[in-house]
Structure 1
């Protein structure tokens, strides 16, 4: 009789142990999948932001170059409309990066602000300097992002 009771208890303990181990393995797999998904979303948001900043930087360069060179009103108006579209396209990726990777919020904001600063450059030399500063700010964002996401 005792041997039967011990056998039943052993079977129950074995089943309970197996269940606990399976639940732990499933939880670990879910946690890893969530972490992988978050990392993919963070990288996508950063890529979208860097791309939007590049588009706006290029649009602002064209716009300000046209203004400095005294181009026609129609060409400037077209460039201005394009720059408004590209600036607007920065909003969602900037917000997404800020929410998904709070450690990069300051770097992302600095990169956006450096890009916005191309507006109303007093001359071609200043425009080129502002462009270089904007490129540097984006480079710092990418460097900060690689450090933040390396973990």
Structure 2
């Protein structure tokens, strides 16, 4: 009788422990997956920000130097495409890593601020701020994800 009772208790304890371990493993896998997705979103966002910074630099430089309307129109279309490419990774970062929202939004805003610079010095200053904001985002992500 005692042997049977001990066997049943041992079986139940083993089953409970196995279930607990399986739950912890699944939770760790979900956390790792979410972290990996957030890191990928930050990487995609920083690449999109770099593309937009470059496109805005070209566009605004053409505007400031009174380039041909055709060249400006082409650069403007490119800047619209690169700005649009920021939306999805920015949204993903904001959803998966809300602690990075201030840095991500600041980096996006800084890239957008290259528009309508009064002169080349102002354009350069805006680009430098955009570069710094993107670097700040990467640093915040490194702190957040322990890299």
**In structure 1, what is the Cα distance between the partners aligned to 2:43 and 2:115?**
24
Which residue matches 1:102? Answer: 98
- Unaligned ranges ≥5, structure 1: none
Deviations 1:86-129 (A, max 9, x none): 00111111111111111111111110000000001111111111
Where does residue 114 of structure 2 map in the other structure? 118
C-alpha displacement of 1:149: 1.4
Provide the aligned length of Structure 1 versus Structure 2: 147
The answer to whether 1:9 aligns with 2:5 is: yes
Matched, 1:78 2:42: no
After TM superposition, where is structure 1 displaced by more than 3 Å over at least 4 residues in a row? none
2:26 match = 30
Q: Does 1:61 align with 2:84?
A: no
Cα distance in structure 2, aligned partners of 1:103 and 1:25 = 29
Long gaps (5+) in structure 2:
none
Q: Distance in 2 between matches of 1:30 and 1:108?
A: 29
d(CA) in 1 for partners of 2:93, 2:28:
21
Q: TM-score with structure 1 length normalisation?
A: 0.95
Deviation at residue 68 of structure 1 after TM alignment: 1.1
Compute the RMSD of aligned alpha carbons. Answer: 1.0
**In structure 2, what is the Cα distance between the partners aligned to 1:39 and 1:104?**
13
